[in-house]
Structure 1
């Protein structure tokens, strides 16, 4: 019988021997995100808009084909050929239950999840199932697909009950699958009180273990995977990996210089990472960095030095990989495939989807409508006076949680651009699909197949070289 991965001391082990999990997230797939696939706003909003534009039959056909083409055996083969051995799979609860029919699990939701887990197993790739969007929203960002600026998961018991129920069904389904590395029970939580998160972790651990005593639980830190300051107040949970997320500020447009490995830059990387993993080191636990990685510019972004910018961001990434390797960190880079912003592979501009949506994607960039890695230079003059006004009239806004999001700049952008503006842009996105035939919808979805994608070669070479290093 095949063996389960398990936690032993400071290592994830297989048959008692240490193993490092190195891979990527299958982001934008069973939890779609606007910057990954080109839409605006939140996934449930764009799905509702396309259902209205296309009708039920075409809507169902398009999204089923999208899920099919986005990850096939060809993706698994390429992933494995790079020496990577683990894929983190973000999922949205909406695939498995309807808000108007809560706690009734839909078998149809497992169709593609089963398929991809089996494909990965065939190519000796472990999978981590990640609840990226929980009922009510476990954080206030777009990727929890709640549609507002509040993390209501923490204030309604029913949302937590539904999440536990979903995990119980997932545990029943995969409890005998040893190629499932484990369950990432909640992505990037933001619990302002801190204790509600710890209560939920204790509860979901007990519920899963009653069904599946074998699989590892991957538990994200609070405040988007960065804060473990209260975790030591509770008893340690068995067979658990505590997971941080470690994005480098040098990999985003907000950093306007270059990463040149100065002593200050290196020290800053090490300081940020050390702070996030201090708890793991104090309890002699494995370290798994569940998300990291820069965003990239392209020739159409209006920056003549875009290639030099990308070289700088890749240099920062390479330093991070070296830093992780020195202390045997498992990692999952964000992300495998997208429309050209952050993926290891990305959809070619010469595909039906990209040709159709090019004007819309360019407009989103100009308006800084998406949160992740946006360049807000063209709209900053509109927002800075309001930020100053807020700080003057209600200075307490600077202490707004989560502080990681730099209040008041981020909360203001969230409410005005990423919610209000983007809700209206959803209708514009939907208009591009008006009147499409089944064949045209198939071609649009097929744009995401690996045969229509381009590898980000330097990035993949860095990852492949690091993957050769073993525990």
Structure 2
């Protein structure tokens, strides 16, 4: 039970609001549920120490980096954001001067540019034109022992990348020096990192990752936690899962098999202590929002129409495997799809197909997550009206706004009870779908009631 207070404080409480649908079979609403984040889908900010055993742990997949030539005092740039040559003529960095790492080994990487091509070797020097990396798009990043942000790039031809001039970057330098005058030396600045499931499994690699993940699944959430949650008034858990669970026990690399067994255990423990389970597809293949908790490799949102069938297959796997469980409360079809990258048309097609797949196995609730970003929170209402036993999940977050930092606990609770309740109320109607409100501040009342102390926080 070491990590439970951490989960409760930094994650969210989900409520099925009371409505005319108050009871279906033995599902009594509202449910009071805690999200078991960072268990079957990694979210590194919850326990960063999980990454400590990775060599070059600051250079994981999706790390965004910029490189300043020590000789020219200019930044490397994928001209036009990609599709042509790489130059070294920018006095300050922005999107075209930022590269996303794909980790090939502890020290070798592909570099993906703004328009999603990869840096590689070409007849006219270094360029970024290929959409899929090959050996010529793989570079060893050699770091100076006493200054880890001072780097050189060894190309597949065995020579080092150099900035010969502001408009000519080549991979033909054979000398070895760390002086500022050396055209092959660059200062690396890390501007953003990801710590998700892809990063931790690919970071440890196929030899170490299976044991690391198994140890985590066995210890992070245990039967004792379910006993504790039930004893303290929670009636359900929301468990995020990734698309790779459907291919257990041998999911595609770098993912590790075994998460379905952990989910099996969760259902057994929940049933023992009288709790329901909400399964949440948190990570769809190709990433529906680009966040680390979506299983993204490099932070790009790439889920689209072409991914609908394979995502429906994951939902069907979950419905077939767990639809027979008496304590299955709901299946959430996708967590936080982000607009405008995920279009309403594609999302609607997917939700329809996934709903039909679930109904072949169970009458559990189906949860439709509203899109984050510039989208109408009511845009799914017409779709939901054609379905039975559905809920729409809208997310209100207070933790990302500094305006709440100076408020007391009671003031935050009052804001939820007044403003957030009003926000949700504006989305509900007498005969409309259930609307779930997710947000950090809903936890404050629970924290107050349980009198969680700073001593408990030390365990996180």
Q: Indicate the residue corresponding to 2:323 in structure 1.
A: 175
1:293 lines up with 2:440 in the alignment: yes
Residue-pair matches, total:
293
Partner of 2:302: 152
* Structure 1: distance between partners of 2:367 and 2:413: 30
Once the two structures are overlaid, the 10-residue window that deviates more, 226-235 or 84-93, is 226-235
Deviation at 1:71, TM superposition (A): 1.3
Specify which of 44, 48, 72 is matched with residue 34 of structure 1.
Answer: 44
In structure 2, what is the equivalent of residue 466 of structure 1? none
Question: Partners in 2 of 1:172 and 1:237 — Cα distance?
Answer: 19
In the other structure, the counterpart of 1:21 is: 31
1:173-230 per-position Cα deviation (integer Å, ceiling 9, x unaligned)? 1121110111011111113232322222112111221x22411111111117984232
- SS of match in other structure, 2:315: helix
1:122 corresponds to which residue? 272
Confirm or deny: 8 A CA contact 2:277 2:328 kept in the other structure. Answer: yes
Within-5 A mapping of 1:231-246: 231-234=380-383, 235-246=385-396
**TM-score, normalising length from structure 1?**
0.54
Native 8 Å contact 2:33 2:237 kept in 1: yes
Distance 1:107 1:23 in 2: 27
Of 187-196 and 126-135, the range deviating more from structure 2? 187-196
Instruction: Describe how 1:269-348 pairs up with structure 2 within 5 A.
Output: 270-281=418-429, 283-289=431-437, 291-294=438-441, 317-318=444-445, 348=459
The structure carrying a bigger helix percent of its residues is 1
1:222 counterpart residue number: 371
- For 1:253 and 1:8, the matched residues in 2 are separated by 32
- Of structures 1 and 2, the larger Rg is shown by 2
Q: Secondary structure at the match of 2:377?
A: coil
| CA deviation map 1:440-468 (0-9, x unaligned) | xxxxxxxxxxxxx7xxxxxxxxxxxxxxx
Q: Deviations over 1:413-448 (max 9, x none)?
A: xxxxxxxxxxxxxxxxxxxxxxxxxxxxxxxxxxxx
Contact 2:427/2:435, CA 8 A, preserved across alignment? no
- Which ranges in structure 1 are unaligned for 5 or more consecutive residues? 1-5, 295-312, 323-339, 349-452, 454-471
TM-score by length of structure 2 reads: 0.55
Equivalence for 1:112 = 262
**Kept after mapping to 2: 8 A contact 1:140/1:150:** yes
Structure with the bigger RCO (C-alpha within 8 Å, sep 6+) is 1
Distance 1:43 1:110, change over 3 A: closer
Distance 1:268 1:175, change over 3 A: closer
In terms of fraction of residues, the more strand-rich structure is: 2
Q: Secondary structure at the match of 1:118?
A: helix
| Distance in 2, Cα, partners of 1:106 & 1:208 | 26
Asked whether the equivalents of residues 92 and 134 of structure 1 are also in contact (C-alpha less than 8 Å), the reply is yes
Q: Conserved in 2, the CA contact under 8 Å of 1:7 and 1:239? A: no
Question: Residues 320 and 227 of structure 1: is their aligned pair in 2 closer, same or farther, counting only changes over 3 Å?
Answer: farther
In the aligned structure 1, how far is the partner of 2:32 from the partner of 2:413?
25
